[in-house]
Amino acid sequence: MTKSGNQMALALLAHVTGAHPSSWMASARTTNPSNDVDYFADMAALAEAGRFDLFFLADTPAARTENLDAWSRYPMYMNILEPVTLLTALAGRTRHIGLGGTASTSFHEPYNLARLFGSLDHISKGRAAWNVVTSSNDYAARNFGLHAMPPHARRYDRAREFVDVVKALWDTYDDDAIVFDRENGVYFDPARFHPLDHDGEFIKLHGALNLARSPQGRPVIIQAGSSEAGKELAAETAEVVFTSHETLAAAQAFYRDLKGRMAKFGRTPDQLKILAGLSPTVAESKAAAEARHQALQDMIHPTVGYQRIGMDLEADLSDLDPDQPIPLDRIPKSANLSTVYFEQIVRLIRDERLTPRQLWQRYERGNAPARGTATEIADRMEEWFTQGACDGFMLTFPVLPAGLADFVAEVVPALQGRGLLRREYEGETLRDHLGLNRPASRYAAPAVRPAGVAR
């Protein structure tokens, strides 16, 4: 563990051409980069030059199959490389930066997942991270024999059990179990090998992972759920949490709430790093940054606008006049998909009585904007970091790689000059970068618990 407590963590959420729906039309790339490993390698190298802790790929295991007029104009997740495959390729093209990706507890078996991320941790020499999601996408459900996602609470019940089983599998071998003793002809010590007998509500597994314990002991566990169930799971198991808040006060309240939940699971607040979502646009003035944003907003096609707000509101508003206020009775009672996005969009409709067009122009899907000069953006980051709102930032950029390049050229030196960001990597692993301890194996703990029991 090497990171000093007064330095912030930075993660890049590497949506292919950026987080803005129009990014693919605004990017400098005139041909499709989605399937080009060199494109991602260049982007990871840029983040590494900016001394980021983590390069992160979001994912959902599905292309959309309906409303294709909208999705063909806004191709989010319509054509993306499988994250662990891509991250494994990037492991060979980077030296320091952590490599994280999303994989769903609803659509994997724990064994496959433990093996994939365990292998990535070996191949990257200790830089792997798994973003635990329960998935909130019925398109994905239909790829796996379901017609819709199971209810929110059931998904989280499975996720809790799933994470525990994955962690147990990663501990199959003790750190020193592979003795490679050629003199006596013993490759591993059977006494330091721990098969798992797990008979749970969702998962049955009687076996053992065929992979040595990895450099980080276990890959870093990330989560991004903001519901009650999501926060409880994070307090119990997550080491990094991505969150998204529009105000300092809301971020501070979330920070206190989540860290305050950890003690009951026997954890201390420093075992979890909360990264606030931020979407910077750096320009020579605030007005120039706003103008750049507005140019992107103006490119949103109405079909895409209705699609975008309908998806997160979980209600189709496309029959409404784009320029009349949205009737409040069109707001569903609660969310089954994403609580955090749902609440943001409902607040905009309720409090500001927006029209559909105003809503799709205003709604930023959890990407708290920071538009202005490098100094203004660094000020904002410093304020949030030093005022107990976060341990660092999960950065999205409206347009990639241009937004990242501006940030690395201008905001990174400002943060380094203030002593808020490392100038050089000091440790080797992602845990080192983040200041997280390497976890002991559950079988090495003083009181050995039976396999499969939550800890």
Ligand X SMILES: Cc1cc2nc3c(=O)[nH]c(=O)nc-3n(C[C@H](O)[C@H](O)[C@H](O)COP(=O)(O)O)c2cc1C
Which residue ranges make up the site for ligand X (CB under 6 A)?
13, 58-60, 102, 131, 133-136, 224-227, 230, 242, 244, 277, 338-340, 366, 394
To 10 degrees, the CA torsion angle through 420, 426, 427, 428? 110
Least Å distance, CB 203 to ligand X, is: 19
Dihedral of alpha carbons 67, 68, 74, 78, sign: positive
Q: Closest approach of Cβ 160 to ligand X, in Å?
A: 12
CB of 74 to ligand X, least distance (A): 17
Distance CA 408, CA 410 (A): 6
Three-state DSSP class for residue 246: coil
The dihedral of CA 212, 432, 125, 55: what is its sign?
positive
Closer residue to ligand X in complex, CB, 270/314: 314
Q: Which CB sits closer to ligand X, 75 or 452?
A: 75
Smallest gap from Cβ 261 to ligand X, in A, equals: 14
Give the span between the Cα atoms of 248 and 270, in whole angstroms: 20
Closest by CA to 439, choosing from 226, 219, 277, is 219
Collapsing DSSP to helix, strand or coil, 159 comes out as helix
Distance CA 51, CA 143 (A): 38
The least distance separating ligand X from the CB of residue 348, rounded to whole angstroms, comes to 17
Nearer to ligand X, 192 or 231 (CB): 231
Q: Which is nearer to ligand X, 58 or 434 (CB)?
A: 58
| Cα gap 426→423, rounded to integer Å | 9
Nearest distance in Å: CB 152, ligand X: 6
CB atoms near residue 246 (< 10 Å): 15
Q: How far is the CB of 77 from ligand X (least distance, A)?
A: 9
Question: Between the CA of residue 82 and those of 16, 115, 206, 275, 395, what are the distances in Å?
Answer: 12, 15, 28, 24, 21
Pick between residue 156 and residue 306 the one whose CB is nearest to ligand X.
Answer: 156
Q: Calculate the alpha carbon distances from 387 to 27, 256, 380 in Å.
A: 35, 11, 11
**Is the CB of 102 or the CB of 214 nearer to ligand X?**
102
Q: Closest CB to ligand X among 356 and 392?
A: 392
The rounded distance, in Å, linking the Cα atoms of 82 and 60 is 9
User: One-letter amino acid identity for 12?
Assistant: L
Measured from the CB of residue 352, what is the shortest distance to ligand X in angstroms? 22
7 vs 243, beta carbon nearer ligand X: 243
The answer to whether 211 and 192 have CB atoms below 8 angstroms apart is no
Minimum Å gap between C-beta 402 and ligand X is 21
Token pair listed for 268: 């201390």
For ligand X, the closer of residues 17 and 339 by Cβ is 339
Q: Phi/psi at 289 (nearest 5 deg)?
A: -65, -40
Which residue in the block uniquely carries the two structure tokens 């205003």? Answer: 362
Nearest-approach distance from CB 58 to ligand X, in angstroms: 3
Which are the contacts of 374, defined by CB distance < 8 A and separation ≥ 6?
Answer: 282, 410, 411, 414
Amino acid at 136: S
Both tokens assigned to 429:
């692993």
The 8-class DSSP code of residue 150 comes to: P
CA distance 234 to 223: 6
CB of 389 to ligand X, least distance (A): 15
For ligand X, give the closer residue by CB, 67 or 336.
336
Which residue's CB is nearer to ligand X, number 81 or number 208? 81
State the CB neighbour count (10 A cutoff) for residue 27.
18
